[in-house]
Structure 1
């Protein structure tokens, strides 16, 4: 199975090169290159087909095909076909070559989506009477370069004939039996050459479980190896000091904050390294929990580091942590890219000698020359904004420091625990007392004059407003508002106020300058793209207007809404949207129904569908070939429980039943601690 694809009959040097372009160089890689969908060529009577269902039908060509070109290199071929006594219109896009293959009176087989109302089949494929029609499920593969799907299918079939008997089982008998799973050879064969939909479903079920079990085994083993390996640094501190510190807080912690703090303190005082994710909705008070952890860490004789994605956020953390910690004799410093050389030298010298207790900064913290005396706790805020390597460099500036990741992007609890299986997860799902929920309204674009009047009233009270647009400038392709035009319009509408503009093309310094002016109330209306999304705290801003709100996901809308409602005054979020789709309408409705980020994340999960929930944010997540952590989250949870039991059992490490499972994990570098971050 590890042999080169060149050993497959019919695969010559040119084909080897073509397959390498697709990342396939061994027989095993070829057999594990699975189809991404299947065309069902089982022919059905057309009267049984539902509206919008994908179907395969056979019929006689009733008219000469017509071919029309539109746009750049786009073609539409139309032909009428008599199917089961009904005259159906078949439409093929960008397949102009079919015109010469279709003749009056021919019997053809069409696969596509059926529009029952218009008696039309569109967007599909066609086979003539001369071509083989399997009458069943036909796999469709992703291909690159010049290789064709039909050629790839031929190579895979030949590989099965030559090497099929070498496909060994890797799951133990106990698991195969408990879940009634197909063996591995049957699974691969059914995924490539399904007998029917029932067998295909069973093959997918087996492969989904296998992929998720391996993912969870890796994480459970990283967790076990980390806890058994190098010990963490136990933090010993005077509990009386902590009680005095807590008594001086200007407010009482919520129940959720207390629980999260209890879990973090338990980790800090344990002999293993903390590796914890702290999830909290926008404004739920994660920063104060992090501040208390930094206080305990400092009182135990260690230094703490807080890494944040932007300089303005770093400035805000510096202000709040200085106020919190300096009355207790702790020194808090900010290391920013804009610091003057003399100031930077002084901070770095104090850091190295140990007189700085907490250092806050952006990625400037991971540069050479930033040396800690005794780093004990690393906190990363909005951790998905930093690469794996950046986070690792910061960790390595200390001797096995405790690590706390913070995120304001709520993830459903079951999913968080399963996906971040190598981390412990703490959740703050309760808002501080007295915080007023943001009043969210959905307005159509023709209601803009009323929105402008409302803005005037709020600005007249001395408050400020954000106005968010999906684009920086006008686009030929999208009929949506852009920040540059809106900035120009609002400057005219509000001559007595200062209107600022911020977008992703500005440099970091320019963005910081605009945000600082807004924070100081020198800018009254800030027109921006979504670059304003994370972490900025302007308590005087009470209105968030979002143009073309249907173009944003629920999580992003919720993050934007979280920029207001940070002061004592009632705040408002106005969603300007004319959604065309049911999903867009539902999204607007959900936003007006709830301010709870965790409830919203559950609904987002349902709405956005498989695979899109995490997007590219979580760099630690593998690309599964068959499994999907959203659609298959129940299997993910079962796999997590099974993996935890296995890794903590003696049999897993010693019994022959698990030898192939251990060997597969060894091949993937798990025992070398190649950690997912």
Structure 2
């Protein structure tokens, strides 16, 4: 019987209550228990104080001078001190709120303590004390694992249980990696690696174990991805689009601007997918202003030439309106009928749009989630494009895909995703990247200033508007909040409307009706309003080339990706542009975000730094992203291992004898046991 089939209560000491307690940690079987790895280790190996760094964790053993002394600050807080002779060096030991130890420590006694070392004062702030010789002998020289536990499970009990599990079942741990891979990468056996992860004798054993198990974890994950890709490409027939190259090229040539090399590359990748017999599932990522919309337009035109309808779904009505205008401008001269579909349409407009879609008179449909409502019936949907796809839920994205007979799918995002995450979270997709900006795109100077300089910023806005330019002022809240001391859009609007008169100031926020939003944006786009005070509804999609100033108030309250998106609303015309971050950050992370924004305008670099700051889960939002929760692998540190594992997985699943070759059998059986239908990468 496999360890994954043996319940954990076969172990001595695990009754019904303990079984329930372990289940809270996700431990149900012996395999689960052995794979419940420690997240750190307590190092009780004796330290050489001459080599120990300041503020480093150390463990020392020494003889006590005299009796410890205790000083009380109140009835609950205390400070106990004692002197220890450690290899001829007098060390001052300090215990906070552990006065009960005074009666256990005697002059002349040998004591072992662990804590933070103050190299300058020759002082240890003790967090763990070992008094008896037996206790010292038990812990001295060891790296003790520290596990995630619950209030009902004690650390020492779990350590003992895992040790007992290894004694009884360690020899039954099966190897899953082929011998050739273990030899190629000099990986230690699986059973030994798992044991070393729990009970390493030293750092080298721990590193060897982690290296082995991280590779295994990533290889198994990538195998699932590659297996799904293989199934999709061999068992799921897609639309084979047919369109003349010369007509597509003629469309490209009549554009008002030449395509960049990167745009041409991703267009080739997309059109090749559309002509293939399998369903396209591609992620198109590019920085703010890199020209993703025109790439989408070319794909929609090719889809039109092949006799199919196309749908472009975006997260907000403002963005839908912007895209409808730009797509219509690009495609309507070629005879393409572009129809909008949003929730704010009148009943008559909606009926007319639905009729055109169902009869096939609408060649391209641009809209919000209204595109996936039951009443929307497409005649022959061949291409689905989702802009800022991470803003839609998994079900929403799946519903739009299901509106046609296996339509090709193109996801777009202006939030660059580091390669590590792109090939992990979106592993079943092919990834196209526009990594080149169009000619003439103006650099944006970015400054971080404190709130005390606000009057000077207002003067700067007035000066820019006086020269014919326009400005955004972004605030995190719509109206005053008692809980958060943040500048709000309503208050800033009223202040600037008075201070900047006769310069016209507009207000835009999420609580306005669609018609009100549209009117404000029209006034700003037509320069009837020179300063737009807004919440983050302008984060993506808004395109006003005459705007050259972006002021973000309380900028430390925004994430890096959001700040970069907001900054991308300027620099779209011929004039030099400026982004001003107004913030008095109270956290180190807030300060770091401000520093990063002033150092680079490269969205991919910002994305990489954001991933380092926040970690993968917070970067994408675990619930929406489908991000796997690895036990050991760290997507910010194990980039190289991930890429190697991905390459190996691709080679394995494409071997004709992958399912029958004996040394690969454990990997194939693993795939059969996994419920791949639940592996959602949407």
TM-score (norm 2): 0.88
Secondary structure of the residue aligned to 1:276 is strand
C-alpha distance 46-526 of structure 1, shift in aligned 2 (>3 A) = farther
Counterpart for residue 150 of structure 2: 144
C-alpha distance 440-78 of structure 1, shift in aligned 2 (>3 A) = same
- Larger mean CA deviation between 595-604 and 36-45 belongs to 595-604
Counterpart for residue 636 of structure 2: 630
C-alpha distance 224-561 of structure 1, shift in aligned 2 (>3 A) = same
Query: 1:42 aligned to 2:45?
Result: yes
* 8 Å Cα contact 2:71-2:78 kept in structure 1: yes
Counterpart for residue 676 of structure 1: 681
Distance of 1:219 and 1:487 partners within structure 2: 50
* 8 Å Cα contact 1:254-1:432 kept in structure 2: yes
Counterpart for residue 430 of structure 2: 424
Query: 1:659 aligned to 2:665?
Result: yes
Q: For residues 102-159 of structure 1, what are the alpha-carbon distances to aligned partners after superposition, in whole Å with 9 as ceiling and x for unaligned?
A: 547467655444454566656x842341455343212122223532322322322232
Distance of 1:164 and 1:170 partners within structure 2: 15
Match of residue 21, structure 2, among 9, 18, 21: 18
Match of residue 275, structure 1, among 273, 281, 285: 281
**Correspondences of 1:569-584 after superposition (within 5 Å):** 569-577=575-583
Secondary structure of the residue aligned to 1:653 is coil
Counterpart for residue 460 of structure 1: 466
Counterpart for residue 642 of structure 1: 648
Query: 1:263 aligned to 2:269?
Result: yes
Look at both structures and tell me which one has the larger radius of gyration over its CA atoms.
2
C-alpha distance 424-118 of structure 1, shift in aligned 2 (>3 A) = farther
Q: How many Å apart are 1:567 and its aligned residue? A: 2.9
Distance of 2:543 and 2:557 partners within structure 1: 25
Q: How many Å apart are 1:562 and its aligned residue? A: 0.7
Distance of 2:130 and 2:463 partners within structure 1: 68
Match of residue 9, structure 2, among 6, 11, 14: 6
Q: For residues 189-234 of structure 1, what are the alpha-carbon distances to aligned partners after superposition, in whole Å with 9 as ceiling and x for unaligned?
A: 1112222211111111111101111121111111111111122111
Please list every run of 5 or more consecutive structure 1 residues that lacks an aligned counterpart in the other structure: 70-74
* 8 Å Cα contact 1:88-1:121 kept in structure 2: yes
Counterpart for residue 327 of structure 1: 333
Counterpart for residue 83 of structure 2: 82
Q: How many Å apart are 1:294 and its aligned residue? A: 0.5
Counterpart for residue 156 of structure 1: 162
* 8 Å Cα contact 2:323-2:541 kept in structure 1: no
Distance of 1:51 and 1:482 partners within structure 2: 45
Match of residue 188, structure 1, among 194, 200, 206: 194
Counterpart for residue 296 of structure 1: 302
Distance of 2:535 and 2:77 partners within structure 1: 37
C-alpha distance 397-145 of structure 1, shift in aligned 2 (>3 A) = farther
* 8 Å Cα contact 2:222-2:646 kept in structure 1: yes
Q: How many Å apart are 1:497 and its aligned residue? A: 4.9
Q: For residues 626-653 of structure 1, what are the alpha-carbon distances to aligned partners after superposition, in whole Å with 9 as ceiling and x for unaligned?
A: 0011210010011111111111112322
Q: How many Å apart are 1:255 and its aligned residue? A: 1.3
* 8 Å Cα contact 1:387-1:619 kept in structure 2: no
Counterpart for residue 29 of structure 1: 32
Distance of 1:38 and 1:18 partners within structure 2: 23
* 8 Å Cα contact 2:238-2:408 kept in structure 1: yes
Secondary structure of the residue aligned to 1:449 is helix
Q: How many Å apart are 1:31 and its aligned residue? A: 1.7
Counterpart for residue 342 of structure 1: 348
Counterpart for residue 437 of structure 1: 443
Q: For residues 159-188 of structure 1, what are the alpha-carbon distances to aligned partners after superposition, in whole Å with 9 as ceiling and x for unaligned?
A: 223322221111111111111212221122
* 8 Å Cα contact 2:72-2:78 kept in structure 1: yes
Distance of 2:300 and 2:616 partners within structure 1: 38
Distance of 1:484 and 1:15 partners within structure 2: 56
- Larger mean CA deviation between 380-389 and 520-529 belongs to 520-529
Distance of 2:406 and 2:257 partners within structure 1: 33
Q: How many Å apart are 1:615 and its aligned residue? A: 5.0
- Larger mean CA deviation between 245-254 and 509-518 belongs to 509-518
* 8 Å Cα contact 1:458-1:464 kept in structure 2: yes
Counterpart for residue 72 of structure 1: none
- Larger mean CA deviation between 585-594 and 621-630 belongs to 585-594
Distance of 2:554 and 2:435 partners within structure 1: 29
Secondary structure of the residue aligned to 1:652 is coil
Distance of 1:352 and 1:19 partners within structure 2: 55
* 8 Å Cα contact 1:76-1:91 kept in structure 2: no
Q: How many Å apart are 1:58 and its aligned residue? A: 4.7
Q: How many Å apart are 1:592 and its aligned residue? A: 3.4
Distance of 1:108 and 1:221 partners within structure 2: 58
* 8 Å Cα contact 1:421-1:640 kept in structure 2: no
Query: 1:127 aligned to 2:122?
Result: no
Counterpart for residue 322 of structure 2: 316
Distance of 1:566 and 1:113 partners within structure 2: 54
- Larger mean CA deviation between 437-446 and 465-474 belongs to 465-474
Please list every run of 5 or more consecutive structure 2 residues that lacks an aligned counterpart in the other structure: none
Distance of 2:548 and 2:475 partners within structure 1: 18
Secondary structure of the residue aligned to 1:221 is helix
Counterpart for residue 100 of structure 1: 100
Q: How many Å apart are 1:340 and its aligned residue? A: 2.1
Distance of 2:152 and 2:482 partners within structure 1: 32
Q: For residues 47-81 of structure 1, what are the alpha-carbon distances to aligned partners after superposition, in whole Å with 9 as ceiling and x for unaligned?
A: 43212333334565843264669xxxxx8764434
